Structures are given as structure tokens and as C-alpha cells.
Amino acid sequence: MVRISASERSATRQRLIDAGKVEFAARGLAGARFDEIALAAGHAKGTIYNYFDSKEALFFTIVKDWCTQLVAGFVTANGASAREQLLEIARLDVEIARKDLDLARVVINQLPGLVGDHRVGVETAIGPGIDLLTAVIVAGQERGEVLAGQSARTLARLFLNVLSAIEQEALASDSELGLDDVLPLVDGCFLRGLVQ
């Protein structure tokens, strides 16, 4: 039996993730096929099962990777207001989208439509991002910068939904918006009403 080194295993996993991003971006979770993903990654279909139990597991790994990049990239500037911090999170989100449009199309276009059985997967994958947004909003509420009438977690989810909707429009092929328009719209359409 041939042993696969840790670096080979990691490289294979990354190729499967990269191929999965392209397939999910093109066909969505429901239409994506494991055999097409494996083939695009240069492997037999059976190989993918050594890394992911299901296409849902691969999909949510991709979403979680996005969220991990976002959380890891966020550094709280000393003395920054809640509005400034939320705009920085939105800026990081747009930056990730610019670097990997297939990833952006998976997360921004596919994720919002998932409900029912996929709800737990969605919550788990985006949980760290929601936690980060919630912490920023709680601190803003405590400093009197953010409206205190709603729960911080609800406001975090609303912020993420507004950000995603604007990014989704900016990524649409027939949109008049571009990714450069996202931050001003997030600020004008949501944050200015949220902060005091």
C-alpha cells in the first residue's frame, strides 16, 4: 500500500477544494457533482471521499475557509468605533471576494438560499464570523455607539445579510454596481441607521 505524505495529502485536499469552488460557483450545491469535482482536481471520484464525506461537507468547508480568512484578517484598531470596525470587516470581505471570485460566488450567491437541512451547516460554517460581528456590536452598544434596542446577534446577522446582498448585486453580470460600491452602500444603507 502506498503511503501519502502529509504535504501530498494537504495538496490533494486543496486541489479538491479549489475544484469544488469552481463547480459550486457554476452549478450550486444542488447541481454540483462529486465526480466532476474529483476529475477537475485530477483524481478519481473515490479519492474525494478520503477527504470529505459528502459534497455538503466540501461545500461547508469552503464556506468555513472564507469565514476563517475573514476572522483571521480582522485586527481591531485601537480606539476604532463600532462603525469603523464593521466597515473594516466589510472591506476584508470584499478583499477576499476580489482575490477569489469563485469563492465569492459560492459564499455570496449560494449560501443565502440554503435552508432546511442545510441550516445547521450554514450556522456552523459562518458561526465564527457572526461571533466576531456580535462582539463588535456588543462593544459598540456598551459604548453607546450602536442602537441597543435589538440583540447584538440579530444586528450581526442583519449586517451580514445586507453586506451579502450588496456583494451579490455587485457580482451579478448585468449589475451597474462593482465591488468598489459595496462599502459606501453598506455604510449608507445599514450602518448609518445602526450607529448613534
DSSP string, 44-59: -HHHHTTT-SSHHHHH
Task: Delimit the domains of the chain by residue range.
Answer: 1-52, 56-194
User: Are the C-beta atoms of 52 and 61 separated by less than 8 Å?
Assistant: yes
For 1-52, CATH number out of 3.40.50.300, 3.30.2320.50, 3.40.190.10, 1.10.10.60 equals 1.10.10.60
Please state the rounded mean pLDDT for residues 153-174: 90
Count CA within 13 A, CB hemisphere, residue 160: 25
DSSP state for residue 176 in the 8-state scheme? S
pLDDT for the residue numbered 132? 96
pLDDT for the residue numbered 168? 87
pLDDT band at 90 (very low <50, low <70, confident <90, very high): very high
Query: For residue 117, is pLDDT > 80?
Result: no
CATH architecture of 56-194: Orthogonal Bundle (1.10)
Give me the percent of the chain exceeding a pLDDT of 90. Answer: 43
Of 19, 166, 2, nearest to 87 by C-alpha is 166
pLDDT for the residue numbered 143? 92
User: Are the C-beta atoms of 102 and 21 separated by less than 8 Å?
Assistant: yes
Say how far apart CA 190 and CA 182 lie, in whole Å.
Answer: 11
Question: What confidence tens digit (pLDDT) does each residue in 28-72 have?
Answer: 888 999 889 999 999 888 888 989 999 899 999 999 999 999 999
Please state the rounded mean pLDDT for residues 121-149: 91
Say how far apart CA 40 and CA 36 lie, in whole Å.
Answer: 6
pLDDT for the residue numbered 108? 81
pLDDT for the residue numbered 37? 93
pLDDT band at 116 (very low <50, low <70, confident <90, very high): confident
pLDDT for the residue numbered 194? 66
pLDDT band at 115 (very low <50, low <70, confident <90, very high): low
Query: For residue 195, is pLDDT > 80?
Result: no
Question: What confidence tens digit (pLDDT) does each residue in 104-114 have?
Answer: 888 887 777 77
Query: For residue 196, is pLDDT > 60?
Result: no
